[in-house]
Amino acid sequence: DTRRLTAVDIGGRKNGPPIVALTSYHAHTAAIIDPFVDFILVGDSLGMVMHGLETTIPVTLDMMILQGRAVMRGSRRALVVVDMPFGSYEESPAAAFRSAARIMKETGCGAVKLEGGVRMAETVRFLAERGIPVMGHVGLTPQSINTMGGFRVQGKSQESAAQVIADAQAIAAAGAFSMVVEGVIEPVARQLTASVDVPTIGIGASADCDGQILVLEDMLGLSPKVPKFVKKYGSLGGMIEEAVSAYAEEVRARTFPAAENVYQMPAKKAG
Ligand code: KIV
Ligand code: NA
């Protein structure tokens, strides 16, 4: 079965096997991860990972659409979810619909993701009722870094724990098919997961979430610095250094290109 997974498939996995997700922003990495994941998130983390920005705030709708198209071309089985960037949806449900419709039409992706709980519930409902599957994102929401006062783990106080659970419940009730739970202390992430009927996707949250997501470059060991919750499954940064230093040495020694790496005049046919 080579049918692409849908938001409905993912939304139905509350009591199924854990949902596996990673980010990708490119065709080639999307193709490599596609057989192993249930969904690929084209995250607005691309602003930091691809462009060296300090936050996700400057990321534009055009940037998300361009990389979303690349990931759709590279993948064929996983659901592709594209992040709605800061400024493209918060103003009103109608503004959110216009942005989300552009993402869906111009990328062909199967769902969008937006940050926020109680305050975004009306918007989630507006989109979901009009044919746009919405993944929520609660807890540490990086687009709100300027009002949160930094990348802060959520749920530490009783007040904060109650807020993040209320946020999750509000967007679940509004029709989000799933939600990312980011940077929430473990017991609160676990309690939150038990309190909503749609799958939760943890990042810096809990093994008891209904799935997990990481930024691909972080888990591959390509990002220069990563938060504590990231487990490095590879060391791509070191591999690139080794390969590039060997290449530089061989170019300087004129041992690359070798005979097998260059073209010669074709040999004359005998007789
Ligand atoms: O932008 C992103 O990569 C994300 C994930 C970390 C969930 O939102
Ligand atoms: Na994001």
Separation CA 139–CA 155 (nearest Å)? 8
What Rg, from alpha-carbon coordinates, does the chain have? 21
Which of 26, 203, 219, 229 gets mutated to test ligand 1 (max ligand atoms within 8 A of its CB)? 203
> Looking at the domain assignment, is residue 2 inside a domain?
no
**Stretch 155-177: mean pLDDT, rounded?**
98
Q: Is residue 246 part of a domain?
A: no
Instruction: Kindly tell me if the per-residue pLDDT of 1 is higher than 70.
Output: no
To the question of whether residue 144 is assigned a binding role by annotation, the answer is no
Q: How far is CA 223 from CA 52, 181, 227, 232, 254, in A?
A: 10, 22, 10, 10, 32
Closest ligand to Cα 48? 1
Residue 257 to residue 98: CA distance in whole angstroms: 52
214 within some domain: yes
Q: Is 23 in the pocket of ligand 1 (CB under 6 A)?
A: yes
pLDDT computed for residue 139 by the predictor: 98
Tokens of 181: 């739970």
245 located within any domain: no
Would you place residue 158 in the very low, low, confident or very high pLDDT band (cuts 50, 70, 90)?
very high
Task: Write out the H or E segment, with its range, that includes residue 145.
Answer: helix 145-148
Task: Work out the average pLDDT over 68-85.
Answer: 98
Q: How many domains does the chain have?
A: 1
Q: What is the ipTM of this complex?
A: 0.99
Residue 252: inside a domain, yes or no?
no
> Does residue 267 belong to any structural domain of this protein?
no
Encode pLDDT of 16-39 as tens digits.
999 999 999 999 999 999 999 999
Q: Could you tell me if residue 126 is inside a domain? A: yes
**119-138 pLDDT tens trace:** 999 999 999 999 999 999 99
Statement: residue 268 has pLDDT above 80: yes
Q: What is the pLDDT of residue 271?
A: 66
**Which domain does 72 fall in, by range?**
7-235
Write the residue with the smallest CA distance to atom 8 of ligand 1.
Answer: 43
Q: Which ligand lies nearest to the CA atom of residue 21 in the structure? A: 1
For residue 269, is it within any domain?
no
Give the CATH number of the domain where residue 139 resides. 3.20.20.60
Higher-confidence residue: 271 or 261?
A: 261
